Amino acid sequence: MVRVLFLCTGNSARSQIAEGLLRKLGGDRVEAFSAGTKPRDAVHPLAVKVMADNGIDISAQRPKDVEPFVGQKFDFVITVCDRAKESCPVMPGAEMIHWSFEDPAEAPEDKREIAFREVLIGLRRRIELFLTVTLATRKAQ
């Protein structure tokens, strides 16, 4: 099983969406986690909404600090924002990947839901490709 940790700053939107997508798309082939370098108090309501609109329930997920994950074994640590990449702790043995996504919560209010949907679409594309390549590579080994 492939273990993946998604990191962003607040762990309230991008990394939560990525965690939910990987769980859904990867099924029993992966373990997905997310955390933040400065976690917020709650998952952003629009992250929950756009995921629910796509048949994925992340309403029970909560922001978590990255510190408890340091020292755990992960195959991949994927940062989904530039600030998290800069402050990401060293995770020995994990392959580090960076996907840069703008924070949809910082979009103008009248465009915010669209920004969340665009992040979801971008993350879905990357995760589908990630799964295709990663699982094919693991199968070949």
Q: Which helix (H) or strand (E) holds 52?
A: helix 45-53
Kindly name the residue from 4, 7, 8, 105 that is annotated as catalytic. Answer: 8
Kindly name the residue from 4, 66, 81, 127 that is annotated as catalytic. Answer: 81
88 is catalytic: yes
111 is catalytic: no
Pairing of strands 76-79, 95-98: parallel
Structure tokens at 13: 């939107």
81 is catalytic: yes
Spatial distance between the Cα atoms of 54 and 64, rounded to a whole number of angstroms: 24
**Under the phi-then-psi rule, with left for phi > 0, alpha for psi from -120 to 50, and beta for the rest, what region is 106?**
alpha
Kindly name the residue from 25, 56, 88, 94 that is annotated as catalytic. Answer: 88
Of 46, 66, 49, residue with least CA distance to 112: 46
Residues recognised as catalytic:
8, 81, 88
